[in-house]
Structure 1
């Protein structure tokens, strides 16, 4: 009887809480509906990875081939190349682009003149609003061996022009550092928000005790944004094989293909260009599973080491 009464009371509290926050729940409805439509319904097509897809027969009418396309990818000469290129680009980008927004946010937060801080924030935010296509066009023009600004400066210094986009040893650096320039300012926004939540009394008390700016950053600011940084690092590790397709594809050419061919560009070529939907779905599913496993491992490790995790 007591167990039933407890369940009834809990149910009553849940219903009352739901009615009290009904307007807030209604705000969630559009997001839930859009997520269901664009993220869950498409999961129906995952079975393409296990079928030899025939457009006339449809998905369910296509013959079941099991793990054939996964085996085909694992034995393909592109498997090692695409995995290697994707991992190098992703890890290189993570090592460079993850700490820089934190450093920028900490430096600007400790800046004395707010007017200069706003100007710097605006200048660093601006590149984020440049579309990928425009960005790649700018990169190509700036690095052009004939009309590029970089090569014109090199020529004026008596240095021979270099076709940077044709040199595979430069391609990864170009890809990563232009991405850093474009995203650092915008990525620092969330750290500014975390720093804004720090009580000014902590800084004032530390200053009274004679703390320097570096000590304020080290013992107050940095520990305060560490949980936020940990969560973002976990999320970035969970998408380590999911590098964006557009930029890599637009900067790719036959001369740098050995370092610029990544999983997303390969999926595009075999899926849409070669019209091999089942094979491209299998590669995409493999990519997703690896990302999920990495996310779980990094999240668990972070939980044990720092106590911060997604769940």
Structure 2
């Protein structure tokens, strides 16, 4: 009887050697090689563009000199953060960023859910695909095109809405130069451009609902609205919760290109956000350290909001993201 047989008969087990473990790991890699090949491009992307640049957050604690590099620049600790928080313009940036995102969260976030449920109720497949193609198309337009369309719609000189108002004997309205309209215009642009694209994940979740549940509801006499309320929406609730938590993580982010194209000197007080501040201060004025400090602040705010939202969601009995 050898050692392996004696250990088996006595109920003991030998510790796995590193070679055995490595062999099993290699076997798993070979077995799932096609899956890992699919994952590899995404992993490389995140490694190059997400993880490696995190080394650059050290710039927020330095008076960064591009010629000296990170290792040769002067360390100043939290000086840039204190200057940022003590700047009276900081509260304007914070207000504009949070309120623009809050309006988007209230008026934009529910619309893809509603649209996906409506598309799922379409019984003719060709008609559903046609509608999907139509509502997806705006997503592929650049913000330059969207801003140009907004100008030709709302401007005082060439906007067809103001031309219609004038033809009706009414006064024209300066939509693009009135601060009170700016946040609403941004929200409407987001709704028009991204609502259709946002339905993709929700439609996938709706498609995963067991059809037998609808059949049982029909037997019980439930109508379409009752089926949507009692079956469809509860079934996609985990997806809604996860996307809501992830959306809260971007509350300090506003579409930079969209805001930059739509802002003008008359609406700067309501249009200036953290992203535009980084552009003007960090890039145009060359103050890279303060720009990095703002970016790090945004990341911390997003992390805090995600952790809080995930905690609240779990307390309410739902499944969070971790």
Q: Give the TM bin, normalised by the shorter chain.
A: over 0.9
1:96 aligns with 2:107: yes
Structure 2 partner of 1:145: 156
Give the gaps of 5 or more residues in structure 1.
none
Greater Cα offset, 191-200 or 229-238: 191-200
Give the gaps of 5 or more residues in structure 2.
1-6
Structure 1 partner of 2:4: none
What are the within-5 Å matches in structure 2 for residues 120-139 of structure 1? 120-139=131-150
Structure 2 partner of 1:254: 265
In 2: Cα distance, 1:203 partner to 1:69 partner: 58
Match among 61, 71, 76 for residue 87 of structure 2 = 76
Match among 85, 97, 107 for residue 86 of structure 1 = 97
1:106 aligns with 2:117: yes
Structure 2 partner of 1:34: 45
Show CA shifts across 1:185-215 (max 9, x none).
Answer: 1101111111111222221221121110111
Three-state SS of the structure 1 residue aligned to 2:313 is helix
1:46 aligns with 2:50: no
Quote how far apart the aligned CAs of 1:6 are.
Answer: 7.3
1:289 aligns with 2:300: yes
Which runs of structure 1 show a deviation greater than 4 angstroms over 4 or more consecutive aligned residues?
1-4, 6-15
Greater Cα offset, 64-73 or 39-48: 39-48
Greater Cα offset, 267-276 or 10-19: 10-19
Match among 265, 269, 278 for residue 280 of structure 2 = 269
Superposition TM-score, scaled by structure 2 size: 0.91
Show CA shifts across 1:102-132 (max 9, x none).
Answer: 1111122123333432332222111111111
Question: Cα–Cα, structure 1 residues 7 and 190, in superposed 2: closer, same or farther, change >3 Å?
Answer: farther
Equivalenced residues, count: 311
1:155 aligns with 2:182: no
In 2: Cα distance, 1:282 partner to 1:60 partner: 18
What are the within-5 Å matches in structure 2 for residues 107-256 of structure 1? 107-256=118-267
Quote how far apart the aligned CAs of 1:3 are.
Answer: 7.2
Three-state SS of the structure 1 residue aligned to 2:266 is coil
In 2: Cα distance, 1:51 partner to 1:108 partner: 53
Quote how far apart the aligned CAs of 1:34 are.
Answer: 1.9
Three-state SS of the structure 2 residue aligned to 1:229 is helix
Quote how far apart the aligned CAs of 1:46 are.
Answer: 0.9
In 2: Cα distance, 1:122 partner to 1:30 partner: 28
Question: Cα–Cα, structure 1 residues 198 and 274, in superposed 2: closer, same or farther, change >3 Å?
Answer: same
In 2: Cα distance, 1:241 partner to 1:56 partner: 31
Superposition TM-score, scaled by structure 1 size: 0.94
In 1: Cα distance, 2:32 partner to 2:263 partner: 51
Quote how far apart the aligned CAs of 1:307 are.
Answer: 2.8
In 2: Cα distance, 1:15 partner to 1:302 partner: 39
- Rg (Cα) greater in structure: 2
